[in-house]
Amino acid sequence: MKLFQFTGLGLAAALTISAPVSAQDLAPPKTGPWHSNVEVTDDGHVIGDPDAETVLTEFVSYTCGHCATFAKQGDPALDIAFISSGKLRFEVRSFIRNALDLTVSMMVACGAPKKFKGNHAMFMRSQDDWLQRAMNAPQSQQATWGRGDRAARISMANSLGLIDKMTKQRGYTLPEVNACLGDDTKAQQLMVGTQNAAADYQISGTPSFALNGEALPQVHSWQSLYPALKVHFAALDEADSEPQLGESQFNP
């Protein structure tokens, strides 16, 4: 879907805003249950036990309907079945397809790491509402928003009621939201991350997934991801159960 493609500022020009910076170390105490442990990285947010051997990465677009469906179906199941117990660490990376994606991604990432999951869920569950408003906006307004610059992001978020959602449902102040939307360094970081993901993982659609750094081909839904995770963990269990040299069964 071609929605609010970058114009004026342009993706290439936007990348020159400023140099990327390392994420601050704002991680909460590393104790269970692990589905409530969220850390911020240069690439996105990581949920779960930082020592988990299995890492699942999702590349998500907030203007993608299939991504909203996965958030409703897959996120709760991952929490219960894999993340809470410490079996799996779940990394969520924004994949920016348009200026509205950029705006919402910056709002989702706003504030302390512990706010991420609630922000993510709120925007995904309400996607039908704000995305439809965006698509119904006059073409002239869409063209202005498509610049993707600081003023365009704030205008877009205000016109679509996204700032109201953050202040009324998520407890942010207006200055806090505007500061997040105005963070050009964060905007650049998100777009660079998207370019890197496209190059490193050959991402062509969202949601897409990688398991321990390897892209999962043809996996774009909870229905296709769950079987892949079952196979992965079954193989790990089988490897763990194999007798090791020196164990009693090898002794006379």
State the DSSP string of the chain: ---S---TT-HHHHTTS----PPP--PPP--SSGGG-EEE-SSSEEES-TT-SEEEEEEE-TT-HHHHHHHHHHHHHHIIIIITTTSEEEEEEE---SHHHHHHHHHHT-S-GGGHHHHHHHHHHTHHHHHHHHHHS-HHHHHHHTT-SHHHHHHHHHHTTHHHHHHHHS---HHHHHHHHT-HHHHHHHHHHHHHHHHHH---SSSEEEETTEE-TT--SHHHHHHHHHHHHHHHHHHHHSPPTTSGGG--
pLDDT value for 21: 43
Distance CA 111, CA 120 (A): 12
Among 110, 124, 126, 116, smallest CA distance to 35 is for 116
pLDDT value for 31: 54
Contact 62, 123 (CB under 8 A): yes
Contact 104, 4 (CB under 8 A): no
pLDDT value for 237: 85
Contact 211, 232 (CB under 8 A): yes
Amino acid (one-letter) located at 41: T
Contact 47, 61 (CB under 8 A): no
pLDDT value for 238: 82
Question: 197-208 in b/e burial notation, b at 16+ Cβ within 10 A?
Answer: beeebebeebbb
Residue 217's contacts (CB-CB under 8 Å, 6 or more residues apart) are none
pLDDT tens for the 252 residues of the chain, in order: 556 565 444 444 443 333 444 444 444 445 568 999 999 998 999 999 999 999 999 999 999 999 999 999 999 999 999 999 999 999 999 999 999 999 999 999 999 999 999 999 999 999 999 999 999 999 999 999 999 999 999 999 999 999 999 999 999 999 999 999 999 999 999 999 999 999 999 998 999 999 999 999 999 999 999 999 999 999 998 877 665 545 444 343
Sign of CA dihedral 79, 85, 88, 90: positive
pLDDT value for 4: 58
Distance CA 63, CA 1 (A): 9
Contact 101, 66 (CB under 8 A): no
Largest CA-CA distance found in the chain, in angstroms, rounded? 83
pLDDT value for 239: 77
**Residue located via tokens 């050959």:** 202
pLDDT value for 14: 41
Domains assigned to the chain: 30-236 (3.40.30.10)
pTM (two decimals)? 0.84
Using alpha carbons only, how large is the chain's radius of gyration in Å? 20
Contact 152, 6 (CB under 8 A): no
